Structure 1
């Protein structure tokens, strides 16, 4: 079994970053490029990606009133356990490329650090939920949270429960992501999310090509 906690020739690529950083845009562009190159791609997201996951997504992002931080963290872990078992691992076993918007690093940043639940504790729960599955590559789109909030508001007009948190919360999230990237430089590709969309896409493609080449 590989260091990613799995067998098979599939590859697992995650995109991380604060709200408004452009993860969904880059995931879609990467999917298009991989598909054009003959790869079978499964593009998915957390929370969500399954019918159960979409219901959990509604709870964690749009529930009215207070949600206890530990309950929030465990809802994300429940979504992850189901999603990995029913979507991600089967795709990897088939040899597909999984392109995923958010994964364990988001739980560590948002709940572990910004919610002050403890990064190590949240990572341990998340790793257990995912049964040890780690990405082959994590693309971190780094962005000032103030800029990110403006982008989200301009695109959608409303903010969800987490997006509505104070700037200090989102600054802690950003700092946590950057700290994780420094700790695992081989796994992370850190990009300035203020760069033009196509320039970012080119940088992502170049790194993904390396990952796929290593799998050949």
Structure 2
């Protein structure tokens, strides 16, 4: 049996990185074996994709991001899933479908470029007030040209994420769209935990919790 692949995505500054980290902690507290990760990765490919958006554009950047994703799957995500872990990935395919589209790459090409990428068991897309998201992103430090625009650019990014949520759902992906509103990060993470728990009940992982293992050993 395999593990569970969960993606947390959404506009820059919406709080997805914080929510993903809190979700990982909540799952670990419940005894689930969790593997947190992110895209772009910390590999040479990933660092080039993350910090090279001024140098690489359009098709070149789309291919670079996809290459990092395939390397990520091969070297980290698939081994963790094979080990029965719950993989929680901060950014994945939705980011490509939004940012590369903003970079004038045709959606059909983005889909074809990522056609061999593994489908997550659950894709969570967070949305929220674009003005607040852009403010948070600026305070955190901006490293990508995609995030230098003001509220108008933020609204466009948010709207595209909502559109991509529909597209993924129509393509057969299991998608949970969550508007963070004025919820604090811990409340957002608690709501996401409900969705992941529901999936864990449906798809058992290869590893059991400590309590389950004790029961098995006693039987």
If the length of structure 2 is used for normalisation, what is the TM-score?
0.83
Residue 188 of structure 1 pairs with residue 172 of structure 2: no
1:122: which partner in 2? Answer: 110
Aligned twin of 1:59: 52
Q: Deviations over 1:46-98 (max 9, x none)?
A: 101445423443324xxxx4432111111101110100110001111111111
Aligned counterparts of 2:22 and 2:70: Cα–Cα separation in 1:
27
Distance 1:51-1:34 versus aligned 2 partners, 3 A rule: farther
Q: Is the 8 A contact 2:3 2:83 kept in 1?
A: yes
Q: Does the 8 A contact of 1:48 with 1:55 survive in 2?
A: no
What displacement does 1:158 show? Answer: 4.4
2:136 is aligned, of 110, 134, 151, to 151
Deviation at residue 160 of structure 1 after TM alignment: 3.2
State the Cα deviation string for residues 193-212 of structure 1 (Å, max 9, x = none): 23222221121010000011
Question: Is the 8 Å Cα contact of residues 73 and 111 (structure 1) preserved in structure 2?
Answer: yes
1:106 maps onto 2:95 in alignment: yes
Q: 3-state SS of the aligned residue for 2:146?
A: coil
Aligned-pair Cα RMSD in Å = 2.0
CA–CA separation in structure 2 for the residues paired with 1:10 and 1:117: 33
The 10-residue stretch of structure 1 (160-169 or 200-209) with the greater mean CA deviation from structure 2: 160-169
Shift of 1:20: 0.4
Greater length-normalized contact order (CA 8 Å, ≥ 6 residues apart): 2
Could you say which residue in structure 2 is the equivalent of 1:33?
A: 26
Q: Distance in 2 between matches of 1:81 and 1:169?
A: 29
User: 2:145 — aligned with what?
Assistant: 161
Q: Output the CA distance in 1 between the equivalents of 2:25 and 2:49.
A: 28
Instruction: Tell me if the contact between 1:20 and 1:148 (Cα under 8 Å) persists in the aligned partners.
Output: yes
Q: Do the aligned partners of residues 41 and 51 (structure 1) sit closer, same or farther apart at CA in structure 2, a change above 3 Å counting?
A: farther
Which residue of structure 2 lines up, in the alignment, with residue 140 of structure 1? 125
- 1:81-100 equivalences under 5 Å are 81-100=70-89
Q: Please name the residue that 1:3 is paired with.
A: none
Question: Number of residue pairs matched?
Answer: 200
